[in-house]
Amino acid sequence: MRAAIIGGTGFDTLEGIHLRPEKVHTPYGDVLLFQGEEEWEDFFFLPRHGTTHSIPPHRINYRANIKALHQLGVTHVLATLAVGSISAHLPPGSLVVVDQFLDFTQNRESTFFNGGKEGFAHTLMSYPYCSALRQRLVEIGAAMGLKISPRGTYVCTNGPRLETAAEIRMFSILGGDVVGMTGVPEAPLARELGLHYAALAYSINWAAGIESGKEITFLEEGVATLKKSILTLFLQTLKSS
Protein backbone atom coordinates (compact mmCIF):
# COMPACT_ATOMS: atom_id res chain seq x y z
CA MET A 1 0.00 0.00 0.00
CA ARG A 2 1.29 3.45 -0.89
CA ALA A 3 0.39 6.30 1.42
CA ALA A 4 0.94 10.04 1.68
CA ILE A 5 0.76 12.87 4.14
CA ILE A 6 -0.27 16.28 2.87
CA GLY A 7 1.19 18.83 5.25
CA GLY A 8 -0.46 22.17 5.89
CA THR A 9 0.73 25.21 7.82
CA GLY A 10 3.33 24.09 10.37
CA PHE A 11 4.00 20.92 8.37
CA ASP A 12 6.10 22.29 5.53
CA THR A 13 8.88 19.86 6.37
CA LEU A 14 8.98 16.44 8.06
CA GLU A 15 11.68 15.39 10.46
CA GLY A 16 12.58 11.85 11.40
CA ILE A 17 12.12 10.18 8.01
CA HIS A 18 14.69 10.14 5.21
CA LEU A 19 13.02 11.73 2.20
CA ARG A 20 14.24 12.60 -1.26
CA PRO A 21 12.67 15.32 -3.41
CA GLU A 22 10.72 14.14 -6.43
CA LYS A 23 9.24 16.17 -9.26
CA VAL A 24 6.05 14.67 -10.67
CA HIS A 25 4.62 15.78 -14.01
CA THR A 26 0.83 15.79 -14.26
CA PRO A 27 -1.58 17.10 -16.92
CA TYR A 28 -2.31 19.96 -14.49
CA GLY A 29 1.26 21.00 -13.76
CA ASP A 30 4.38 19.80 -11.97
CA VAL A 31 4.40 18.92 -8.28
CA LEU A 32 7.37 18.88 -5.96
CA LEU A 33 6.93 16.26 -3.29
CA PHE A 34 9.07 13.89 -1.25
CA GLN A 35 9.45 10.13 -1.30
CA GLY A 36 10.64 8.09 1.65
CA GLU A 37 13.87 6.11 1.41
CA GLU A 38 14.69 2.51 2.34
CA GLU A 39 11.82 1.10 4.43
CA TRP A 40 9.79 4.24 3.64
CA GLU A 41 9.76 3.79 -0.18
CA ASP A 42 5.97 3.61 -0.24
CA PHE A 43 5.52 6.78 1.76
CA PHE A 44 5.19 10.29 0.28
CA PHE A 45 5.08 13.74 1.81
CA LEU A 46 3.54 16.69 0.01
CA PRO A 47 3.84 20.11 1.66
CA ARG A 48 0.75 21.89 0.37
CA HIS A 49 2.24 25.39 0.63
CA GLY A 50 5.67 24.32 -0.67
CA THR A 51 8.71 23.67 1.50
CA THR A 52 9.21 27.36 2.22
CA HIS A 53 5.53 28.10 2.81
CA SER A 54 5.34 30.30 -0.27
CA ILE A 55 2.13 29.11 -2.03
CA PRO A 56 -0.98 30.86 -0.65
CA PRO A 57 -4.21 28.84 -0.23
CA HIS A 58 -5.96 30.22 -3.32
CA ARG A 59 -2.90 29.54 -5.53
CA ILE A 60 -2.31 25.92 -4.52
CA ASN A 61 -2.60 23.59 -7.51
CA TYR A 62 -4.94 21.14 -5.78
CA ARG A 63 -5.62 19.12 -8.91
CA ALA A 64 -1.94 18.63 -9.69
CA ASN A 65 -1.24 17.63 -6.09
CA ILE A 66 -3.96 14.99 -5.94
CA LYS A 67 -3.26 13.76 -9.45
CA ALA A 68 0.46 13.40 -8.66
CA LEU A 69 -0.30 11.20 -5.65
CA HIS A 70 -2.72 9.14 -7.72
CA GLN A 71 -0.14 8.70 -10.51
CA LEU A 72 2.36 7.45 -7.92
CA GLY A 73 -0.07 4.73 -6.88
CA VAL A 74 -0.92 6.31 -3.53
CA THR A 75 -4.22 4.99 -2.19
CA HIS A 76 -4.34 6.44 1.35
CA VAL A 77 -3.86 10.11 2.26
CA LEU A 78 -3.86 11.92 5.59
CA ALA A 79 -3.81 15.70 5.63
CA THR A 80 -3.31 18.37 8.25
CA LEU A 81 -5.39 21.55 8.24
CA ALA A 82 -4.62 24.64 10.31
CA VAL A 83 -7.92 26.21 11.39
CA GLY A 84 -9.56 28.85 13.48
CA SER A 85 -12.11 27.77 16.09
CA ILE A 86 -15.76 28.70 15.72
CA SER A 87 -17.34 26.22 18.18
CA ALA A 88 -16.91 26.95 21.88
CA HIS A 89 -16.03 23.31 22.61
CA LEU A 90 -12.99 23.45 20.31
CA PRO A 91 -10.63 26.10 21.74
CA PRO A 92 -7.27 26.84 20.09
CA GLY A 93 -5.02 23.82 20.53
CA SER A 94 -7.88 21.41 19.72
CA LEU A 95 -7.50 18.54 17.26
CA VAL A 96 -10.50 17.56 15.15
CA VAL A 97 -10.98 14.69 12.71
CA VAL A 98 -13.34 16.60 10.44
CA ASP A 99 -16.30 14.71 8.96
CA GLN A 100 -18.08 17.37 6.87
CA PHE A 101 -17.21 20.52 5.00
CA LEU A 102 -18.94 23.71 3.88
CA ASP A 103 -17.38 25.07 0.70
CA PHE A 104 -17.06 28.86 0.47
CA THR A 105 -14.16 28.87 -1.98
CA GLN A 106 -14.30 30.71 -5.31
CA ASN A 107 -12.54 30.36 -8.63
CA ARG A 108 -10.61 27.23 -7.72
CA GLU A 109 -10.19 24.39 -10.20
CA SER A 110 -12.29 21.99 -8.19
CA THR A 111 -12.91 18.95 -10.37
CA PHE A 112 -11.19 16.44 -12.65
CA PHE A 113 -14.48 15.99 -14.49
CA ASN A 114 -14.80 18.89 -16.91
CA GLY A 115 -16.34 16.88 -19.71
CA GLY A 116 -14.59 16.25 -23.03
CA LYS A 117 -11.57 13.98 -22.73
CA GLU A 118 -11.78 14.00 -18.95
CA GLY A 119 -15.37 12.76 -19.00
CA PHE A 120 -17.72 13.71 -16.25
CA ALA A 121 -19.35 12.23 -13.19
CA HIS A 122 -21.31 13.40 -10.17
CA THR A 123 -19.12 12.13 -7.36
CA LEU A 124 -20.95 11.19 -4.15
CA MET A 125 -20.02 13.67 -1.42
CA SER A 126 -22.57 13.07 1.39
CA TYR A 127 -19.75 11.84 3.64
CA PRO A 128 -16.62 13.30 2.06
CA TYR A 129 -13.93 11.73 4.24
CA CYS A 130 -12.87 8.08 4.58
CA SER A 131 -14.70 6.73 7.62
CA ALA A 132 -12.21 3.91 8.23
CA LEU A 133 -9.24 6.29 8.27
CA ARG A 134 -11.16 8.72 10.48
CA GLN A 135 -12.00 5.99 12.96
CA ARG A 136 -8.41 4.78 13.11
CA LEU A 137 -7.12 8.32 13.65
CA VAL A 138 -9.46 8.71 16.62
CA GLU A 139 -8.66 5.28 18.10
CA ILE A 140 -4.90 5.51 17.67
CA GLY A 141 -4.95 9.11 18.89
CA ALA A 142 -6.80 8.03 22.03
CA ALA A 143 -4.30 5.20 22.62
CA MET A 144 -1.52 7.81 22.35
CA GLY A 145 -3.25 9.98 24.93
CA LEU A 146 -4.15 12.71 22.45
CA LYS A 147 -7.44 14.51 22.92
CA ILE A 148 -9.10 14.40 19.50
CA SER A 149 -12.66 15.39 18.62
CA PRO A 150 -14.06 12.65 16.40
CA ARG A 151 -16.12 14.94 14.17
CA GLY A 152 -16.53 18.53 13.13
CA THR A 153 -17.70 20.61 10.20
CA TYR A 154 -14.89 22.39 8.38
CA VAL A 155 -15.69 25.66 6.65
CA CYS A 156 -13.37 26.43 3.74
CA THR A 157 -12.96 30.08 2.80
CA ASN A 158 -11.02 31.30 -0.21
CA GLY A 159 -8.52 33.45 1.63
CA PRO A 160 -5.90 34.62 1.80
CA ARG A 161 -7.62 37.28 3.88
CA LEU A 162 -9.13 36.23 7.17
CA GLU A 163 -12.86 36.42 7.78
CA THR A 164 -15.04 39.20 9.12
CA ALA A 165 -16.81 38.69 12.43
CA ALA A 166 -20.12 38.66 10.53
CA GLU A 167 -18.90 35.89 8.22
CA ILE A 168 -17.89 33.79 11.20
CA ARG A 169 -21.30 34.43 12.83
CA MET A 170 -22.90 33.18 9.61
CA PHE A 171 -20.68 30.08 9.50
CA SER A 172 -21.60 29.35 13.11
CA ILE A 173 -25.32 29.56 12.33
CA LEU A 174 -24.76 27.23 9.37
CA GLY A 175 -23.13 24.61 11.61
CA GLY A 176 -19.45 25.29 11.01
CA ASP A 177 -17.09 24.24 13.81
CA VAL A 178 -13.72 25.29 12.41
CA VAL A 179 -12.59 27.48 9.53
CA GLY A 180 -9.62 27.18 7.20
CA MET A 181 -8.60 27.88 3.62
CA THR A 182 -7.17 24.69 2.13
CA GLY A 183 -9.41 21.67 2.84
CA VAL A 184 -11.48 22.20 -0.32
CA PRO A 185 -11.16 21.22 -3.13
CA GLU A 186 -8.44 18.89 -1.82
CA ALA A 187 -10.86 16.45 -0.15
CA PRO A 188 -13.42 16.28 -2.98
CA LEU A 189 -10.67 15.91 -5.60
CA ALA A 190 -9.22 12.99 -3.65
CA ARG A 191 -12.66 11.43 -3.63
CA GLU A 192 -13.09 11.97 -7.37
CA LEU A 193 -10.01 9.80 -7.90
CA GLY A 194 -11.12 7.21 -5.36
CA LEU A 195 -8.40 7.91 -2.78
CA HIS A 196 -8.97 7.14 0.89
CA TYR A 197 -8.56 10.58 2.42
CA ALA A 198 -9.01 11.98 5.93
CA ALA A 199 -7.95 15.26 7.49
CA LEU A 200 -6.95 16.32 10.98
CA ALA A 201 -7.65 19.96 11.80
CA TYR A 202 -5.66 21.72 14.50
CA SER A 203 -6.84 25.04 15.79
CA ILE A 204 -4.37 27.88 16.13
CA ASN A 205 -6.80 30.72 16.97
CA TRP A 206 -10.34 31.72 17.82
CA ALA A 207 -12.03 32.73 14.57
CA ALA A 208 -12.83 36.40 13.90
CA GLY A 209 -15.18 37.98 16.42
CA ILE A 210 -15.52 34.90 18.64
CA GLU A 211 -13.60 36.81 21.28
CA SER A 212 -15.90 39.78 21.06
CA GLY A 213 -14.21 43.04 20.08
CA LYS A 214 -10.73 41.48 20.00
CA GLU A 215 -8.51 41.04 16.95
CA ILE A 216 -7.42 37.46 16.13
CA THR A 217 -4.29 36.21 17.83
CA PHE A 218 -2.54 33.03 16.79
CA LEU A 219 -1.15 30.47 19.22
CA GLU A 220 2.44 31.51 19.86
CA GLU A 221 3.95 28.09 19.42
CA GLY A 222 1.56 27.21 16.57
CA VAL A 223 1.66 23.51 16.00
CA ALA A 224 5.34 23.00 16.75
CA THR A 225 4.62 21.19 20.00
CA LEU A 226 2.00 18.96 18.39
CA LYS A 227 3.93 18.20 15.24
CA LYS A 228 5.76 15.12 16.51
CA SER A 229 2.62 13.58 17.98
CA ILE A 230 0.62 14.20 14.81
CA LEU A 231 3.34 12.63 12.66
CA THR A 232 3.44 9.56 14.91
CA LEU A 233 -0.36 9.37 14.82
CA PHE A 234 -0.43 9.63 11.02
CA LEU A 235 2.30 7.04 10.47
CA GLN A 236 0.67 4.54 12.84
CA THR A 237 -2.71 5.13 11.20
CA LEU A 238 -1.33 4.62 7.70
CA LYS A 239 0.64 1.54 8.79
CA SER A 240 -2.54 -0.05 10.16
CA SER A 241 -4.55 0.70 6.99
Alpha-carbon span 233 to 146, nearest angstrom: 9
* Helix H or strand E segment including 168: helix 165-174
Q: Is 50 helix (H, G, I), strand (E, B) or coil?
A: coil
| Residue 168 CB, nearest approach to ligand HPA (Å) | 8
Candidate ranges 102-110, 121-129, 175-183, 186-194; the one touching ligand HPA (CB under 6 A) = 175-183
Closest CA to 51 of 21, 81, 80: 21
Neighbouring CB atoms inside 10 A of 225's CB total 10
- For residues 35 and 41, is the Cβ–Cβ distance under 8 A? yes
Of the candidate spans 26-34, 59-67, 94-102, 179-187, the one that interacts with ligand HPA by CB under 6 A turns out to be 179-187
Candidates 80-88, 169-177, 189-197, 226-234; binding stretch for ligand HPA (CB under 6 A): 80-88
Selected binder of ligand HPA within 36, 152, 180, 188 (CB under 6 A): 180
Q: Are 28 and 61 in contact, with CB atoms under 8 Å apart?
A: yes
205 part of the interface to ligand HPA, by CB under 6 A: yes
Between 146 and 162, CB nearer to ligand HPA: 162
Q: Applying CB under 6 A, does 46 fall inside the site for ligand HPA?
A: no
* Cα separations in angstroms, 195 against 72, 105, 160, 172: 12, 22, 27, 30
* Binding flag, residue 187, ligand HPA (CB under 6 A): no
Q: Which of 46, 204, 226, 235 binds ligand HPA (CB under 6 A)?
A: 204
Residues engaged in binding ligand HPA (CB under 6 A): 82-84, 157, 162-163, 179-181, 204-205, 207
